[in-house]
Structure 1
């Protein structure tokens, strides 16, 4: 596949404008000629596309006009936590007229025949009502590895930066964190726009891409990390701390409960949903093509309706994954932290989702 930088931006906008059509974002990326007339083309200029990405133009699509279902504000029951987040439009920018959405996390996990999981901590939560369907060590703060990049994406989206701005990767982006580094197909000097860096970070979990997003944030890395922690406090993620944007540092910690809040929030950002669940993408850097696959086998295999996904791994964290999915018409959040192997993580997720798909809706 041969995509230019310009065609990438066109595909990105097309994915938002036609999100209710039969052509998925991934199909548009993989096959740009998959439109009804054989061509996935847009009449928008590059300037208009950039304005749309940064929230300065309103989409005329039905999906952008239809606000997500609002939750009814109710008194917080004993043993639960009330979290207030903001509804986001498809391009990650909150419409001025949108009221805050209240998410209730209700600790009512009392279902029988619960599956056992290998992971150190696990959570399955009804994403609409906040009902906890399954819990294991949900309040324990643990290293979260590259699950960190979900917050990296939220902070990047909130900043409303120029998504078509070109970023040149520097050696500092490959320096790692806490004495750790990881293999990467990227190289010092590679040029990519901010949207591509975000796609690299979410889909392929490229650490240099996430580091570059933090470096090019207004105020640099320190300001970016401060924004990550401020967002966590705003969302009520009281067990969460961030020290950098990639997840290589084991001092990036959170609880399964906190990550349930983060995933519920991040699922309101169209770019994060689309980029994190792209199964495969060929990045054309002009001088070489990087064929890239999603790090989550459940996304690559396509057997589940997964709306948002992010995996993570460092030695201290074990194998982690967070997902927003739909199970038997119920929106759900799945969090797994500290599984022993990638296969154990996949098996845990499959067991939990299969089990949750059979549950009645009690609230």
Structure 2
């Protein structure tokens, strides 16, 4: 494997040069928020060694850095043979404790919801949280976890096939990507997480060892391993309403996924220019709260199909409290955003963690 250093250019209000090598999962970090926040507008480039990047990605015991509001315009098309190291797979387990605080509960219009202290597992708010319902593109969070666990070559070039656009039940699969578009696996993962592109998630499953059936089996096995007893996956995108889960189970999944540095980074990238070499796709995160940058959101995923309604899951830090927020079955995007904002404001009124 080559260890030659490569560079990617970020636009974070200014140009920041990140040096990296193609030796680990850490190579694929493209948005170092903590570094960006410490750079003044008049600063020149800052260099990070491969070991610095690896420590950022692999040290999952430290407090999660807040999501920033920067605009990333770099590309992941750097070639090489980047792979995911074994340290990319988290070892923490999540135990949910069904206890409630004495603070008055907020009003939520979504069909089901959960707010959980991500550190203690204490349930702070619950509404129909054990009800198993379609989860739409929240599915892609498990797609990302299974992809990361497989430790595949993230620089492998993958060409989108017509089968990746087939969707489920005739549902629209993409408004941006086209059959024949070629990108590497890291770009597919970023497309799936930040922009919720269905063909990207489908291609990740198709190119998994053993193909789609093996990928779906791995999704269900991971859910079982995590104790997600109300969860079943039929495919990798979320277009199929047979992908079902409960708010409680998704609380477990979000807590688990937040331990993967790359999933945190990719799911909270506000904007990104995908340079495919022959055209550039300017893309925005599907979560308005991530795009607006007003909250410390560490992980995010939205979803929608008619059967599921508008859904969102987030890992956030409020008043030094790491919290998981799950909303399923909101009536509209605005209602989903309103519910999420109400819950975050409510968590902000709770006593600060010591």
Give the TM-score normalised by the residue count of structure 1: 0.79
Residues 1:343 and 2:326 are matched in the alignment: no
Measured against aligned partners, the alpha-carbon deviations of 1:315-358 in whole angstroms (never above 9, x if no partner) come to: 00000000000011000000000000000000000000100111
Report the Cα distance in structure 2 between the residues aligned to 1:303 and 1:335, rounded to whole angstroms.
Answer: 18
Equivalent position of 1:244 in the other structure:
235
Alpha-carbon distance in 2 for matches of 1:249, 1:142: 12
CA contact (8 A) 1:92 1:268 kept: no
Check conservation: 2:165, 2:174, Cα contact below 8 A: no
The alpha-carbon deviation at position 43 of structure 1 amounts to 7.2
Deviation at 1:115, TM superposition (A): 1.1
Counterparts of 1:94-173 in structure 2 under 5 Å? 94-95=86-87, 100-173=91-164
Q: CA 1:338 to 1:99, structure 2 compared with 1: closer, same or farther past 3 Å?
A: closer
Structure 2 CA distance for aligned equivalents of residues 313 and 10 of structure 1: 38
The counterpart of 1:37, out of the listed 39, 44, 54, is 44
Question: Which residues in structure 2 correspond to 1:72-83 (within 5 Å)?
Answer: none
Conserved? CA contact 1:23–1:35, under 8 Å: no
Give yes or no for contact 1:242–1:251 (8 Å, CA) kept in 2.
Answer: yes
Alignment match of 1:292 (pick from 270, 273, 283): 283
Alignment of 1:1-363 (within 5 A): 7=8, 16=29, 19=32, 21-23=34-36, 36-38=43-45, 62-64=55-57, 66-68=59-61, 93-95=85-87, 100-360=91-351
d(CA) in 1 for partners of 2:121 and 2:201?
Answer: 30
Q: CA 1:331–1:92 in 2, change beyond 3 Å: closer, same or farther?
A: farther
Q: How many residues align?
A: 316
- For structure 1, the residue ranges without an aligned partner over 5 or more in a row are 28-33, 45-57, 71-90
Cα 1:116–1:65 change in 2 (3 A) is closer
> Partners of 2:176 and 2:201 in 1: how far apart?
14
Give the drift of 1:114.
1.1
Distance 2:238 2:148 in 1: 18
Question: Compared with structure 1, are the counterparts of its residues 37 and 146 closer, same or farther at alpha carbon in structure 2 (3 Å cutoff)?
Answer: same
Specify whether residues 65 and 17 from structure 1 end up closer, same or farther in structure 2 by C-alpha distance, changes over 3 A only: farther
Structure 2 CA distance for aligned equivalents of residues 357 and 154 of structure 1? 29
Residue 113 of structure 1 deviates from its aligned partner by 2.0
TM-score by length of 2: 0.81
Unaligned runs of 5+ in 2: 1-5, 10-17, 64-82
Q: Given the superposition, is the C-alpha separation of residues 241 and 358 from structure 1 closer, same or farther in structure 2, using an over 3 Å criterion?
A: same
Distance 1:94 1:114, change over 3 A: farther
- Supply the distance in 1 between the matched residues of 2:30 and 2:202 (Cα, whole angstroms): 29
Q: Secondary structure at the match of 2:180?
A: coil
Distance in 1 of aligned mates of 2:341 and 2:124 = 15
Q: Decide whether aligned partners of structure 1 residues 174 and 20 sit closer, same or farther in structure 2, where only a CA change above 3 A counts.
A: closer
From the superposition, tell whether residues 21 and 112 of structure 1 become closer, same or farther in structure 2 (CA, over 3 Å).
closer
Q: Output the CA distance in 2 between the equivalents of 1:230 and 1:270.
A: 22
1:19-68 superposed Cα distances (whole Å, 9 cap, x missing partner): 474327xx9xxxxxx99533x66777xxxxxxxxxxxxx65765356451
